Structure formats: C-alpha cells, structure tokens
Amino acid sequence: MQIYNLSEGNSLLNNFLKEIRDKNIQKDSMRFRRNMERIAYIMAYEISKKLNYTTETIQTPLTETTINTPNDKIVVASILRAGIPFHNGILDFFDKAESAFISAYRKYDETHINFEIFVEYIASPSLTNKTLILCDPMLATGGSMELSYKALLSKGLPAHIHIVSVIASQKAIDFVKQHLPENTTIWVAAIDPVLNEHSYIVPGLGDAGDLAFGEKL
C-alpha cells in the first residue's frame, strides 16, 4: 500500500494548510471552505499522475496530433458533512467522475470519550471495476473510513481505491494499512502524531465540519 504525504515537500499546499490550521484565519468559514477546495485541487492533480492513460488522436485547426488522456472510470465518494468542500475540489478536476455520499458519524456515550461509529445513509453509482476516490478531510482513527468503504462495497468492487484526507493521525494511517485492501493508495496533506482522549487529531485543526458550515447542536 502506497502512502503519499504531500507536506513532506515544499509547495503552495503548505500555505493552504497553514490557513486552515491557524485558529484566527480558520474562523472565516468561506476562506476555510475555499482552502479545502484548493488543497483538493493539488491532491486531484497528484492522483491524476497515477491513473491509466490511452493515446488519442485529435484534429487541431492545422493538423492531427496525439495526446495521452486518462481512461479510468472514477467515482468520488465523500463522508458527510465535512467532506463536501473537499469533494467539490476533487470533482472540479475530474470532469466525467460520478459521485457518492456516505453519512458516517460518531455517537459518544455519557463519558464523551467512548463512541461508536454509525453509517446511516449511502448514495452511490456502481463501483465495479472503477477507480474509487474516497474523501474525508480528517482521518482520525480510521474507523469511519473503514466502515464507509465496507458500506460502499454493496455497490460493487472497485479496481483501485484512493483514500484522500487533509490531515491524518499516524494511528489512522496504521489502521487503514491493516484494514483496507492492498490496492489502496493513501494521500494526505499532513500526518499528525497524536490523538487526544476524545480521539481528536493533535495538533489537527478542530472540527472541519463546524469550521466549514457552522457549529451543530
């Protein structure tokens, strides 16, 4: 299983990552959503390098020429609700991609420390022999990602899976490596070392869904 941590190299990604982490800048919800989209653009471009390509012949105003174009059938799947801005950014780069959506959430007990993960809703086209790009901006424990992937299998077996997150914990990376198939590639903008007692990523950035769309009751 291949893992790409894009912050290991210097690029404009670092500036967008800084702004979504900074507790003063991230308070601007519109800017937060836009930066999530821009990070998704960079990741979509990097993913595109790993797709399958065929050579096409096209006619310009002057003559024929050839060009290599991707031929994967792509489904972009996102975990609601934090994944929506990230989903839109990925979709902007893959014009012909289909979309899938999964509702996965944590339900804490009275201690506010222990929780179960529930998947309540899934809408997806067929995934059989397609390239699945499964998005969740925050990959904390990896549990939601595993359950979402298993739920999506009811729609068919993909040829390849790309797991795409902005920030992941090292624990989640290790979990995904153990619980998802070998034909999986993991893409992250940063890997953080710690989960706190509530299973939030540290240093992280907070609740991505709340920052994008406002606090929930």
Q: What architecture does CATH give domain 2-51+71-213?
A: 3-Layer(aba) Sandwich (3.40)
Q: Given its phi and psi angles, is residue 43 left (phi above 0), alpha (psi -120 to 50 degrees) or beta? A: alpha
Give the list of residues 6+ apart from residue 20 with CB closer than 8 angstroms, or none.
26, 32, 35, 36, 39, 166, 205, 211
Report, as an integer, the average pLDDT of 56-78.
97
> What single-letter DSSP state applies at residue 153?
G
Q: Is the pLDDT of residue 69 over 70?
A: yes
Mean pLDDT of the chain: 93
Q: Is the pLDDT of residue 191 over 90?
A: yes
At 164-183, the pLDDT tens digits run 999 999 999 999 999 999 99
* Residue reference for tokens 């198939």: 181
DSSP calls for 18-54: HHHH-TTGGG-HHHHHHHHHHHHHHHHHHHHTTS-EE
- Is it true that the peptide bond before 81 is cis, omega within 30 degrees of 0? yes
Of residues 49, 148, 80, the one with CA closest to residue 88: 80
* Residue reference for tokens 């992937």: 149
With cut-offs at 50, 70 and 90, classify the pLDDT of residue 199.
Answer: confident
| Residue-level pLDDT at 105 | 67
Q: Which residues pair with 164 in a beta bridge?
A: 135, 187
| Residue-level pLDDT at 116 | 75
With cut-offs at 50, 70 and 90, classify the pLDDT of residue 106.
Answer: low
Distance CA 39, CA 186 (A): 15
At 116-157, the pLDDT tens digits run 777 788 999 999 999 999 999 999 999 889 989 999 999 999
| Residue-level pLDDT at 216 | 79
Domain boundaries, the chain: 2-51+71-213
Q: Percentage of the chain with pLDDT > 90?
A: 82
At 201-213, the pLDDT tens digits run 999 999 999 999 9
Q: Is the pLDDT of residue 33 over 90?
A: yes
| Residue-level pLDDT at 112 | 66
At 6-24, the pLDDT tens digits run 999 999 999 999 999 999 9
